[in-house]
Structure 1
Amino acid sequence: MSDLLSDNTETNQAIPFRFTRLYVTLLIVLAALLTIGQILTQWRLSAVQDELWIIRYAALQRHQSQQIVKQALQLADPSERTNFTYNVAELRQVFPKFEKYHLQVRQGRVPDHDIAIPNSDSIQQLYNGIRPQFEAFQRSVRQLMTLQQPDEINQPVMQASLRLLLANEKPFLEKMDGIVREYTGELRTKLTRLQVIEFYLYGISIAVLIGIGVWIFRPAARKLRQTIAQLIEAESQTTAANRELLNVNKSLKETRQKLFEATKEQYERQIDEQKLRTSYLIAGQEDERKRLSRELHDGLGQMLTAIKLQIEGLEAGMKRSMAVPATGNEPVALPVYARNISNLKKLVTQTIQETRTISNNLMPTVLSDFGIVPALKMLAENDRSDQVDVTFETNLAAATPRWDKNVEIMLYRVAQEAVSNAVRHAYPSHVHIELIEREKFIHLLVTDDGRGFRLDEHRLTASTNGRIPSQGLHNMHERAKLLNGKLKITSVPGKGTKIQISIPYQMQSAHYDAN
């Protein structure tokens, strides 16, 4: 077989096929031998366990017979008269077990453990030889179990039963010892036979292993040495190529690293440029809001106030004219004009108030003068109405130092946009603004109990139409990114919306330009 495996004329496919077939065949033989040995061993061990139960019950007969004799002698002992009832009860309890076990073991059965093993002819002859002693036990003990009073033991019948019991005790014990020895000898013979079979199986298994070593591993080792020699030669040929490949790979890694760093630098630069453009855009928006606020307050507001004063002067003059009695036949229509002028004055007053509100929304003076906490408190008061209750809560002290200008403007604009969106679109009954400083972070939360919306639908609208579904939400997100903050929106239809923005910020005093 080794010559067959080392034949150089064989193809590369034939050698592995034959090698594998021989290896599998020997393994199957070895597995079959081990399986047979295991099955045989387990079967014999199970049989041995059953026989051990039989032997145990047989040996138990000696102990039970001695206990029966002991109880019978105590019945005849005058000093045990006080325990007469107990001794009779013990005798009536032990003897039925003794009788049952003896009859079962005689037939080779242990019903309590579902065991049935036929006795051999020699053991059956021993049981036939012990039958007279066992029957003598039965007659004498059954007679003694009829005792009712201690004095009845002195009757001739009871004394004869007691003598019969004592006369058969020793022969019964000797014959039961013989039965147990016979059981033990037969079991030892079976175990010896099992040892011989196991030894033969072990020898065959060793022979199979030797065959595997001689017919498989030795030719395989020879082939392996040849293959290793070829691999060493091939390795020496590929070492130089590997060095060249390593050098090329190193150059590629360096080039790729440089390209990655350049791409990363370009991307970071684009991000910074985008942030800078967005910052400039938002700063321009704030400046424009401030300019419009001043123009509305200083220009249009003053002109509207002047108009109101002129109307009030005209109204006062008309009232004075109404006090002079009319002459001639001219009709008096001054009351109608007075009502129109009064309505005009109310309209101008409302226009002045609306102009002030718009100016305050564009750039509230309380934000630039007093800071974010008073500004948010005034925002809640101004947006409160009969339909919507807007509340504000903070854990910041009233004397909190001013923060950075950009931080205060960003927080105010986010709160303003969130409250405006809630009032216009969610129809809530309550909006709660909360400003918290915790663990070097500033958290702004705007919560409403309105009708809410589905966030996935807004994302789907944005991806389908190619635009942002809510410009206000986009502005909040961009403002948060400029300060390295995080914007989180939680909304459930019918259960309201919660907008939370968190920015890292060290609580300290900061210069604020109010111009």
Structure 2
Amino acid sequence: MTKEVKALSDKLNFKKLKQMYLFALVTIAVTVLLSQLLIQHNINSQINDSRLINISGKQRMLSQKLAKEVLILNSFSKDSDINEQISNIKNTLELWKFTHLALEKGNDTLNFPKEKSPALLGLYKNIKSNVDLIDSATTKYLNNKNNPDAQLENTQEVQTILDNVAVFITKMHRIVGQYEQEALDKVTRQRNIEYGILSFTLFVLFLEFLFIFKPTNKKIELLISKLLISERRAIKLARDTEAISIIKENSVKELKSLNFAMENTLLYCRISPQGKIIHMGEKFAKLLQYNPSFDVDKSFSKAITTVEKEQLAIDQIIADKQRGGWQGELNTTDRNGDTLWLDMSMIPVRIRKDESELLVICFNITIRKNAELEVERLNRENIVERINQQKIISSKIVENQENEQNRIAREIHDGIGQMLTGLKFSLESINLEDKEKSAQKIEYLKKLSLDIIKGVRTATFNLMPPELSDHGIVPSITKLTLELTKLTGKNIQFYNKSEFDQRLDSLIEINIYRLTQEAINNAIKYADSSHIIVQLSHSNKILSITVDDNGKGFDLATVEKKRNSESGMGLLFMKERVRYINGRVFINSIPGEGTRITFNIPI
């Protein structure tokens, strides 16, 4: 090593460089750790805020439930049900009061904070009068319910409850909005802090590049340049010594070893700029079934292929690319008439000042190309099959929509329409002079009106259950199983195993509802089952619904092959619908034992 190189190497203080690297890495690690701690703190805060907002929203539902139960008790209850309804109202009132007090004053059990912002304190102070009025009016109403002389006072108490519930819902909506705004402010502050940490990290990385990587790179490049210069000087000085002979001898041995390896492992050939073979490797010659001893012409293109058109193409490539080189894939025909694919590279090599040649290196890619062509053929077949399948799905969707519209029309015409016609004729036949018959007809009309209301509710429930939009997926599935149990006589049970009570996106909820409805209907219609169990459970990321029946089961492979059958299309529609909301469906069925269908939907 020369003195210049040694001096330059001394300038590269690796101890200082290591210290600078360590400082930069520690700084980045600290910023990442702080960022993660802040994120975890913010996640815990958001969880508490979410529960707080959820419970606040449920307060509005509880107040509506309280008002509905009071109205039902006041208007339609039988004497035998009064005590049970009064007990339900008391339970609802106690839960409503407890939750509101926990929200207003804080609760350690529910993790509700005792400290609140001035805005929330003002809103809770503003709503307190309505809470007290609802509480007192409900209590008075329940105490006087069995007193016949307090009918007028009870009516006034019911009106007080209704008036204050409406105001309570409006004010509670403002409280929920304030909780959401404060939660949003927390998230915004966290995001700004994260941006600050990210900016600081990027600044550290920039300083590391500016003061460590860039100067070190320049110094190393200069050192390598000096080393290369010294190497060339050393080689020049060693040419006149005996050591050069030993180097040459070793180089010859290495070249022989390399040549042997190339002959037996690589498909290579040396050709002249005119396309004549100078030397061809043994493995390449064996692949082409080419013997240079029997070829006077020694044309590279003729050695590659026996087809004249392909030979002309190869000669043209050699003529055009002999200076700049060429790389590409060649489709040729060997001496047996089989297709041969070669990944070929032509590299120009200068031997002397006025003499050059081309080094050709090839790879046999015939198997890979044949596999690619087979994959392309299978893909084309798969695309055609999917297009045909999509056409079948589209036609079945249109057919099902038309059948559903006809069913709804029949229900309205045959059921509700005829009852309305009967109501019209009964009203016209009332003779007010005959009070006894008029009273009987009025009682009949009341019953008929209730039947009409029930028919309208049934029709609207089949189209879109109100529980789904008002309360979410759990109440709507509960209502679905109860209604289908009444209509079909089947024993249909629903279990919310993990006490799921969240609201999801409306599109996800309606698809979950329709999937569950379709699975239950299939168990009723096709499985001939007497017991159906619907179970719902969830984790942090997955909502799972399982529908089990004790029906006759089926062979899944056989049904899936029958794409045009009603059952086959039903399973296909079910899979398409669950795929639409990024979910998965698992179907397990054993003939004679029953069927289990499980839907897993990300939440």
TM bracket, shorter-chain basis: 0.3 to 0.5
- The TM-score normalised by the length of structure 2 is 0.36
Per residue, is there more strand in 1 or in 2?
Answer: 2
- The TM-score normalised by the length of structure 1 is 0.42
Greater gyration radius? 1
